[in-house]
């Protein structure tokens, strides 16, 4: 599995791309692989305030339903509505498929997230591989 260097990663398996005060959030390749075939994505409403570490939606697969956690605090500025019709896009391109965009309150929060190398180590420790 590859984890793009330009992203930061949370221990709840979300990736974040910070551009100015806009954070783009998706789930990692590891997360989609663990979930299996994704059949539904519950998205928040635009304008919703979300705290770092809080739930902003969920991903439903044939195996389970998993909550999605925001890596940073902010206001939802966009949702990927294409996921309503094609949630399986996350399975085929997790690193390229965003779920939400946030206007972040403090870009400093992203600094607390894991680098690609650190996330890879974290996954290896979690899975024992």
Q: Dihedral through CA 80, CA 82, CA 87, CA 90, nearest 10? A: -60
State the fold for domain 8-106: OB fold (Dihydrolipoamide Acetyltransferase, E2P) (2.40.50)
Residue extents of the structural domains in the chain: 8-106
Q: Are 72 and 110 in contact (CB under 8 A)?
A: yes
Is the whole-model pTM more than 0.85?
Answer: yes
pLDDT at 18 over 90: yes
Alpha helices in 1-129 (DSSP H): 29-35, 82-85, 89-92, 116-127
Q: What is the pLDDT of residues 102-128, one digit of tens each?
A: 999 888 899 999 999 999 999 999 888
pLDDT at residue 30, as a whole number: 95
pLDDT at residue 1, as a whole number: 65
Q: What is the pLDDT of residues 47-91, one digit of tens each?
A: 999 999 999 999 999 989 999 999 999 999 999 999 999 999 999
Q: Please, which residues have CB within 8 angstroms of residue 92's CB and are 6 or more apart in sequence?
A: none
């Amino acid at each position: 599995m590859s984890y793009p260097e330009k992203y930061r990663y949370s221990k709840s398996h979300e990736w974040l791309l910070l551009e100015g005060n806009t954070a783009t959030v998706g789930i990692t390749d590891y997360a989609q692989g663990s979930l299996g075939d994704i059949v539904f994505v519950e998205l928040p409403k635009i304008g919703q305030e979300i705290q770092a570490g809080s739930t902003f939606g969920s991903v439903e697969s044939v195996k389970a339903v998993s909550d999605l956690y925001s890596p940073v605090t902010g206001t939802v500025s966009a949702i990927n509505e294409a996921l309503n019709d094609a949630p399986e896009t996350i399975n085929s391109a997790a690193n390229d498929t965003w779920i939400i965009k946030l206007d972040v309150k403090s870009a400093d929060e992203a600094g607390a997230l894991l680098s690609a190398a650190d996330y890879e180590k974290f996954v290896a420790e979690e899975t024992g591989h």
